[in-house]
Structure formats: C-alpha cells, structure tokens
Structure 1
Amino acid sequence: MKSALQSVLAVIVIAVVFTSCSGSGPKEARFIPKSSSAVIVLDPGAMQDKLTKGGISIDTLLSRVFKNDSIDSKDKEKLNEFRTNAGMNWQSQFFFFVSQKGNPSTPEGGTTVMNLMGGLTDAAKFEAWLKKQDQIENKNIVKEKDYAYLVAEDNTIISWSEKNVIVTIYNFSQQPSYDTVTMQFKVPEKKNVEAEMKEQVKTYYTQAKDASMASVKEFTGMFKEKADGYAFTSSNSSLSAMSMLPVSLPKVEELLKDNYSASTLSFEDGRIVAKSNTFTNPLVSNILKEYAGPTVNLSMIERYPSDKINGIVLASFNPEIFGGFLKQLEVEGLVNGMMEKTGFSVQDLYKSLKGEIAVVVSDLGSSQPEPQERKDEKAMTVKKPMGKMILNAPVGDKASFTKLMDKATELGYFTKNGSTYKSGELMKVLGMYMQADDKNLVIASDSLTYTQYMSGNNQAVINTETLNRFKGKSTVFYFDIANTIGGFYGNGGDYNQSMKTAKETFKDIIGTSDNFDGKSIKGTFEIRMQNEKQNSLVTLTSLITDIAVDMRVAARRQKEMEEKMFPGGFPAIIRTN
C-alpha cells in the first residue's frame, strides 16, 4: 500500500516541477485553515516557461532520469499516464500546507497534518485514474455533498472536489503517563484517529472564509509579487501548545499570536532568490521599535586567518531586547527569584555580551589520518574531517560578564589566570579552544587559529561584492558551496556524480536581514550559480536528474544485495525491526 501512495506523491512532485503554465491566483486559500503553521506554493507554469526558454522539454528530462530497461520503462509509463490522463490541472498552483495540534509527548497526544493540494480539470477522469492504481482500486470511495474521498491508508486520505484534489497525511502520536503511586506506566486511551482525520478533511471543503488563509491579508498579499514559488509561516499553531506548559505565563499568547512570515521564490539568471517579510503583532512590533539594534560589525571577520572561508554568520542586536520581552511577559521578577542563589540576575545574563556575534568556518575537508594513528587497514582508508573555526562575542557589561565567568570557573568549566579565562577540561575533550578577557569571548577550533585571529596581522579573503552586501544588515549568512563540496568530493559512495554536478552548479549562498522598519523585517536569501547567464532553474535540472539517477541506481544496488543475501526474502525478525 505504501509503495502505491508513495508513487502517487512522487509523481505529483516531479510533475509540478516540469509541467504547464501559470495559475490564476490563490483562490485555493479558502481550503487552507488559518491555523496552518506553514504553506508552500509552487507555480509549475512559471517554471515550465523558463525551462522551455532554456531549451528543456519534459521528454528531455524524462530521458535523463529513466533508462531503457524494463523497470525504468514501467515507471516512465506510469508518470506519463499521470501527466496526460489523470484529469490534473497543470495550469494551477500546487499548495503544501502543514498544521500541528497538541503535544505528541503527552498522554493526550499531538497531531501533525500534512497536505498537498493541486487542481483538477476533470474530477471523473481523476477518479478513474485513481481506481486503476495498485491496492487503491478496491478502496471504498465516499461521496459527500461538496467532495469525495477514499482512505488510502490508516493515516492517509485522498479527497477531491470538482476543481481540486488534496492528499492528506494525518500523524497522531501520544506517550503513556507514569503513575508514581503504582510505579507503572498508564497506557493512554486509544483515539479514533480515522474519524478525526475524516473530520479534518471535511473542514477544508466546508470552512468559512474567516477560518481560512483567504482571510489573512499577509498571506494573500504576497501573491501580488509574481514569483515561481511562495512560502508562508504563522505562529498561531503554537498557541495550542501553551496549555501544555506547567506554568501559565501572562501575555505569552498575546506575544505569539498573529506573527507571520511571507516569502517569494524566483529562479533568475544565475541565481535563485528568496525575499521575505516578517510581520509581527502590535506588542512584538513595539518591543522591536523600542530596542532597535545596530548593524553587523564587519571588522570581526576581516582579520580571519584564511583564504578558504566556507561559511560566515554575523549578527548584531540590542541585548536589552531580552529584558523587554521578559517585562512584557511579566516574569522578570520570577526569573530573578529563581536565579537568586546563583549570585547573578537575568540582567547579568543578557548584559554580559555586547550584542555582536561572528562565526567563521574555513578549510573544511577531509584528510588521511597520520601514520602513527593508523591502527588497522580500515583506519588507512577512512578519511577524517578537518577545518578551522572562530566564534567571537565581544563583552558588554564587564561586571556582569565577570560574575558569569567566575561562576563557570567555580564549576570547573574554565580556568582563570588574572583577568583571562581559558578552556577547562570539558572543552578540551570536545576539541575546542576558548579564551576570554574583558573585551572578547572567543571560541576557536584550536589555539593556533585563535592566536592568528587575535594577532590582527591576517587578512581574510572575502569577495568585495559580498562584503558590500553585508553592510547595514542586522544578520548575515554566507556559505561557499563549491569550495565546501570540493573539500569532500571524491570520497566515494553512491552519489559521486551528484556531488560533482552540485560543485559545477552552485557557487555560494548569501542571506541577509534588516532591522525592523516599523512594518516588517525584510530579508533576502540568494543561491548563486556558477553559470551566471543561464536561468537557475534550467541549470538546476541537471543536478535534479543526476540525483534522481543516483537514487535509482543506489536503490537497485541495495535491492540486488538483499536478494543475494536473502533469496527467499527478508526473515520476519529483520522485517519487523
């Protein structure tokens, strides 16, 4: 049964990427509950237009993924049947939405519901195609007033109306409670998951507009910008978990309610660009205004001792903002009371650092172990990861910082010599080096990297254009994809061709975000490609097809190995474990 359902989902995902033309808008928003935690939207038409302009056809893609043996021919035939004869509307957008309720680690349990929604041109044709699928053909189709459905598995429903189809995966889990009197676990009461799943699906087709995403202006507003894809997240799904907290916190619901993030995704020439807007509720907005932060300090990375930087993270913020949130929650006094015996306050915690953080990672790769470390034949072939790292967090209030570090020293985490703190045994075991004084707290991969960084005599090799994009931002993220893959590529394995193609496809990633501007927090996330002139989606198809081929080859190799080891099939004890 699972193989049949997985085939349906896999076919939908592949077809979304390669099929048809632009949708007319988010009319499907009325199906999506307002309580959904995340929504992802793909416009297959816009993407297909770009593939066509780049000289890529669906037949070309399929010929790359599927070879000419009997197994591949059968899979290719199934995909073509779904594309052309399942009544799907490849001119509409596809929506993936998720919601959560409750807490799965409690006896009451929690639920995660995942849904994939697409459009239909012919519901009867879709139903006919569905009935022909293995192990689904004998399932009972239930006709409701506004929709029809069938239970494909214990936790999966496929439902459809005249114009839309939704695949729903309903995962419910709960944990037993422990009775301290009888010293036994109590098995929680079993719920009728199928009935709840059916009720959840019914909601999609019958809910009022006010209960759906169609009533959320931050959601509908993001479609004003034409893009290939969209992503939306909401904090509202976390509200149901608040009742599970052992302590009721004042105003926590007010802080968490109605915070949204809306993003667009576009495949442009030489780059994939995501733009985001984070919208906060009035209470959070007021805190962000009152405790506005500075911008990143680029001098913290300029002296990093390497010309092979793999990744950078920079952040700058006003530490007082933590106090602002505690005051709004009306728990600052409570937290200070709980910390009284430690000898410092919650204010000491957030005031101890300045609010500037820099992390740099470089020289990532793998190397053969030293000869003296090679204890056996395996140790001579297995490569070990290597690299360098610096984390720098300048000190804020010196008195608060000293209180914290002295306490940590008492507990044995650090050693102290004068006003300098160094790594204790724990950090040495972890293979890290730490040194702090009244100016900086620095954690390094090793003492040599620390010494070179703090000397100020080195110059990091960072592209000038990249540095310019960091200026004036509150947070920064950079990752050199090509050089990082190059450090590990060639170690063997089933995905060597995919790794090679990825190295030739991607250049790097740049992510930045601004401070709150009074309305939202704007951010950008950009993946830059090696080929700057070709549309990034066209470039990406080579990698996608190589990965698909590698996955099929690896799966086939695994199956052949299993058949040789167990000609009669897996023993039952292995299957069940």
Structure 2
Amino acid sequence: MHSKRSNISRVFSIAVVAAILLTACAKTPEESKHIPKNAGVVIGINSKQIVQKLVTNGITMDKFFSSLQEQDTSSEAAKAMKDIENSGVDINSNFFASVVFGENGAASYVSLTGSLKDAGKFENFLKQKVQGVTPTAKGDFTYAWLPADEALVGWNKQTVIYLRAFDMDELKHRGQRKMMGIPDGDDQDSSEDAAIVDSAAAIPTVLTVAEDGPTTWVPVMDHLFHLKDNETAGSIEAFKSLLKENADATFFVNPQVIVNGQQLTMMPANFKELLDGSFYTAAVNFEEGKVVMNGRSYAGKKMAEIYKKYGNITLDMDMLEKYPSDNIDAFVAYGYDMRMLGDIIKTTGMDGIVNMGLGQAQLTMDDILNAFKGQMVFVSSDFSMGKKPNPYFPQDSIEKADSKWVFAMKVGDKAAFEKVMNSPMVKQWLHKEGDQYVMEQAMPGMPALSINDKLVVAASDSALLQSYLSGKGKATLDNEIAGKIKGNPLGAYVNFEKFAAGMPADQLQGPDSSLKLQAKNLLKDLRAVSQPFNGSTQESQVVLNFKNSSENSLAQLVNLGMAFAKYHKEHKDDDNTAAGDSMMVPQGLDSAAVAP
C-alpha cells in the first residue's frame, strides 16, 4: 500500500519528525482541543525540549536525513521535507497521535493533529500533490478525500487533522500471516523510502477500511473540529495533569474506552464498570546518560475500594538480600495481595466460571488465592555465554547462555495451602515427606525445588538452592536501587552491561564489528520501582541508564540509529549479493555444504 499512497501521508509522517527535531512548541497545546474524550491512546511530544537536546549534541535534520538516503541525491524523505516547507503546515506546532476505538459498531481510527500557518497554501499543496483531489467546504472547515490513502484530511484556518480507519481484526490476521510466513500484498508493494519515513515517525500501524469512504468520515471530522470542552480528552483530569508535565514525550491510556470498543464487546459489563475512572499516564524525559519514565496509574471508585480493602503489601527485602551472590545480573521483587485479584474477578461476575473450571481439582478460586501471600522474588546471576556440547551431536558444540537463578514465593494461609497441595491436581506430581513436598518422580531438566508451608523455592541447581535456604549468603545490591525499592510493592533491575560482557568475542567480529561494539557499549542498566497506592493513584518510575553518562540519551539513540542506517547504505549491495547467492542454492542441498 505504501507506494500507492499520495504524498500527503508522508508529509504528515515527516512533519512529526520535523516537529521533534526542529521546532519549539507552544506552552499550551491548542491541538489537544481536537482530541476526543473517547481516545484510547494519545501520544504527545514536547518539541522544544527535544530539539534543544539534539541540537546541543550536534544532530540536525540535514545529518539525520542524509543518514537515511540510499544515494547521494535527495531521497524521498528529503523531498517530503521540502514539501512540508511549502505545504502551509506549521512544523512549529505540537503534534498528537490519537487512537480512537469505535463504540456501538462505529469504526476505529487513528488521527494526527497539527497546526497550519497558511490554510490557502495547504489547499494549493493538496491540489498539486494529490491527483484528482477535490477540496469541499463544510461550514467553517474544508475537507478532502484521499483515495490512494483511503483517508480524510480536514482543515480550517488554524488546524489540520488527518484521519484513517483501522481494522483491529485485520491487524491481528496480518500478524498471524506474517508469523506463518504468508506474504502480504501490501508488503510486496511497499517501497523502502516509505518504510523509512513511517518507522521514523513512529506512527501506529493503520489498516484502512476502503468501503467507508468520505460519507462515514466527514461527520467524524466535523465532530473533531467542534468538540465541546466536556467532549475533549482535556476534560479528563488525568489527561489535563499530564499536559502540564514538563516532559519530552507523554503517553495517555484510557482502558475503559478500549474495552468499550467494538473489538471487545464480549467483555462483561461489570468489568467495564470496574475500569471506570482508571487511566494510565507516563511522562518520558531524555536526560544526560539516562531515559526517565514517570508513570501514574489512576484507580476508579470501584478499583480504589478493592485496593483499600486489603491495604498495601510491600516486597520482602529479606527474600532478595539472602540470594548468595555478588554478581547479580537481574531481579524482580514483588508484593501483592492475591485476594485482590479474586475481588476483581468476583466484581466482573466471572468467579462462577473460574470455580467451575477448578471443580474437578476439588478447589475454589479462593483456595488458590489464599494459599499464597503474593510476596515473590526472581533473581539471576553469573550470566555467561560459551560453547557447550551439542546434546544431539556430542562431537559438536553450540553457543549457549548460562546463568544461576532463584524464584521464591511466600505461602499465605497454611490450611488453604495444604488443601491445594493435597488436591488431585497437585497430588499426582508431589507427595509430602516430613515438612517438604517432593516430586513423585525425578524428571530430567527440572529445577531444584523446596516446597513447604512457609516458602516455595525453585533454583537452577541444588547447591544454590541450599545456600539460599540457609540464609547465610548476602546479595551485593546497588545501594541506590536497594534504598529506592525498600518499603515499596515492586522493584526490578537488569544489568545490561553484565549481559553484554558475557558476549563471546568472536560474535563481535566482521565488517560490522564497530557497529556491534557501539551497540554493546550503549546501555548500562534498567531500574524500576512502584510506590504504594495512595488512595487514588499509584506512582512508578523506570530509569534506563546509559554507559556514557555525559551525553544525552536521545542523542546516543539517534546516533546509533544513524550509524545503522549508514552501514546499511554502504553494504546494501553486499547484502543483496548474499541474498541472491543463497537463493541460487539448489533445493535439497544445505547451503552450508555449497562451496563459496
């Protein structure tokens, strides 16, 4: 489909990139007034902050697009940038991408909203670039149907809105076809330059519904241009608060309208009510040496009541700290009252179905949820990559990852736990010896286990299991992350630097060795923490740290992307030759057996 589209879709895609790299945005995002209240997902950009961070690090549009060009002459992306300059679109405005899920049989759509600095110029641009386009006035705005895009664009003196339908079922089917290796007609017809533009703009995949046409979408466009204050996303306090964040990028999710959408009509009505007033927002900032995402989960009235009923459970630091290693690669520690999940299921009216499914095991949902306290940890350490004997061909070796790990979970109500362990579902696999439950029969490849009425533990090997259970070991944790997660319900850590260090040296060889090394030396670690529920919201933070702490993280990511694009451009002929050679191998012969 890409090659059949008119230039207008590329103009909007590149305009988003231009806004990120070139512009300074207004303090008040006027464009947000055209985002409807039933938008399920909204993405916003603070161009002013982002441009300062990129330009300060020497990244300009010229450098960015020159890295994407396949040849020395101007690429389609560069041409689109020139078109934008003459299109009347104000690249100094904010851009919002919104996903609206249709309700009561209405079609879903994606809209891009921006500002115009010259509406007349924009109309002339459409006439020049889109064959057969017919601008039509409707009240105080004008619209035009773009047949090649199967999309509608509308504008007035200040604002331009571009919207296209998408079919969630078709999106799922396309994903299934790709997994099965079935080619898509759209894939065969797409051009590389359009793919580059779409990926750079990071706009959600859109699948059109051709039969809708302008008859369906003109009323939608009319509605977006004339939203009342109480019909906009800004009338939602969570969204309004998000717009006030001093962030480089923002994300807003309204789960209730997604569930109410036509794709999820089979969900119980009570579940939809449970989500009423629940939202998720996130503010992302690219700082020197790190990316920081501050998230906030809003709980509606019914969900808040469930939270308050059980109070806050925090993660158990002792379960984490007694892991016996000074070489920890990653961990997740969690504290959650399992009975909250039961109340959520009961609120939706689905508990009867769940209990019916557990009836054969002589258990109820409450038995299982009461049996476990919800405090759990997973810790891994000593990651390595090395050659191991091939289990199928002992004379050969394979490259294999290896690590030590422990998973532990606290037991809750003892009586409920014993009922679960003595149920037919579990008893066929485990039996009790003293205070321990052991496997009926040893099975190859199974982890080492320790199960009693206090703790359930699985480990990569018996020695590590016994050392963990003894409690004599002491994990070496970063003081900062340990201090932040203590007293909170969730903490997580991943040390990318250690995982990268375990990569074999021979995998860094080849013509792209410098590129591999640049990627290997990019990230340091990831740290995440979630704070207790405060009665209405729950705060969380994810920090992605880079090894280079003196350069802005966005600049580092863009520079790496430009390096990849440059390498692809310089070695495109080599890649095509290699692909052609592999296609010439006769069927039935292993390509590895063919002499160079």
Q: Taking structure 1 as the reference length, what is the TM-score of the superposition? A: 0.81
Q: CA deviation at 1:351?
A: 0.9
Counterpart of 2:494 in structure 1 is 479
Amino acid at match of 1:538: A
Task: Tell me, yes or no, if the aligned pair for 1:420 and 1:435 is still in contact at 8 Å.
Answer: yes
Counterpart of 2:60 in structure 1 is 57
Counterpart of 2:200 in structure 1 is none
Task: Tell me, yes or no, if the aligned pair for 2:101 and 2:261 is still in contact at 8 Å.
Answer: no
Task: Tell me, yes or no, if structure 1 residue 518 matches structure 2 residue 535.
Answer: yes
- Which structure 1 segments of 5+ residues have no match? 176-189, 568-577
Counterpart of 1:312 in structure 2 is 331
Deviates more, 1:200-209 or 1:546-555: 546-555
Q: CA deviation at 1:401?
A: 1.4
Counterpart of 1:117 in structure 2 is 113
Task: Tell me, yes or no, if structure 1 residue 342 matches structure 2 residue 334.
Answer: no
Counterpart of 2:476 in structure 1 is 461
Counterpart of 2:236 in structure 1 is 216
Counterpart of 2:245 in structure 1 is 225
Amino acid at match of 1:507: K
Aligned partner of residue 565 in structure 2, secondary structure: helix
Q: CA deviation at 1:331?
A: 5.8
CA 1:565–1:547: 2 relative to 1, 3 Å: closer
Aligned equivalents of 2:503 and 2:112: distance in 1? 36
1:258 to 269, 273, 277: 277
Counterpart of 2:258 in structure 1 is 238
Task: Tell me, yes or no, if structure 1 residue 164 matches structure 2 residue 159.
Answer: yes
Aligned partner of residue 388 in structure 2, secondary structure: coil
Q: CA deviation at 1:9?
A: 6.1
Task: Tell me, yes or no, if the aligned pair for 1:45 and 1:90 is still in contact at 8 Å.
Answer: no
Task: Tell me, yes or no, if structure 1 residue 397 matches structure 2 residue 410.
Answer: no
Task: Tell me, yes or no, if structure 1 residue 508 matches structure 2 residue 525.
Answer: yes
Counterpart of 2:34 in structure 1 is 31
Aligned equivalents of 1:121 and 1:489: distance in 2? 55
* Matching of residues 369-518 of structure 1 within 5 Å: 369-370=388-389, 374=393, 380=397, 383-407=399-423, 410=426, 412-414=428-430, 416-422=432-438, 432-488=447-503, 491=507, 499-518=516-535
Aligned equivalents of 2:153 and 2:384: distance in 1? 46
Task: Tell me, yes or no, if the aligned pair for 1:494 and 1:550 is still in contact at 8 Å.
Answer: no
Counterpart of 1:98 in structure 2 is 99
Aligned equivalents of 1:16 and 1:422: distance in 2? 61
Q: CA deviation at 1:395?
A: 0.7
Amino acid at match of 1:252: F
Q: CA deviation at 1:25?
A: 2.0
Aligned equivalents of 2:529 and 2:578: distance in 1? 47
Amino acid at match of 2:71: D
Task: Tell me, yes or no, if the aligned pair for 2:19 and 2:92 is still in contact at 8 Å.
Answer: no
Task: Tell me, yes or no, if the aligned pair for 1:147 and 1:162 is still in contact at 8 Å.
Answer: no
Task: Tell me, yes or no, if the aligned pair for 1:26 and 1:220 is still in contact at 8 Å.
Answer: no
CA 1:372–1:334: 2 relative to 1, 3 Å: closer
Amino acid at match of 2:566: V
Task: Tell me, yes or no, if the aligned pair for 1:150 and 1:157 is still in contact at 8 Å.
Answer: yes
Amino acid at match of 1:402: E
Q: Taking structure 2 as the reference length, what is the TM-score of the superposition? A: 0.78
Aligned partner of residue 383 in structure 1, secondary structure: strand
Counterpart of 2:2 in structure 1 is 2
CA 1:557–1:173: 2 relative to 1, 3 Å: farther
Task: Tell me, yes or no, if the aligned pair for 1:96 and 1:114 is still in contact at 8 Å.
Answer: yes
Q: CA deviation at 1:532?
A: 2.5
* Matching of residues 137-216 of structure 1 within 5 Å: 137-145=130-138, 146-153=141-148, 155-172=150-167, 192-194=211-213, 195-197=215-217, 199-216=219-236
Q: CA deviation at 1:396?
A: 0.8
Aligned equivalents of 2:283 and 2:236: distance in 1? 17
Q: CA deviation at 1:232?
A: 0.8
Note the alpha carbon deviations across 1:32-68, whole angstroms, 9 max, x for none. Answer: 22111111111222111122333443334445x2468
Counterpart of 1:69 in structure 2 is 71
Counterpart of 2:297 in structure 1 is 278
CA 1:212–1:461: 2 relative to 1, 3 Å: same
The aligned length equals: 538
Task: Tell me, yes or no, if the aligned pair for 1:497 and 1:546 is still in contact at 8 Å.
Answer: no
Note the alpha carbon deviations across 1:65-111, whole angstroms, 9 max, x for none. Answer: 2468346x4346325414533333232222122233479xxxx8x96
CA 1:76–1:486: 2 relative to 1, 3 Å: farther
CA 1:290–1:242: 2 relative to 1, 3 Å: farther
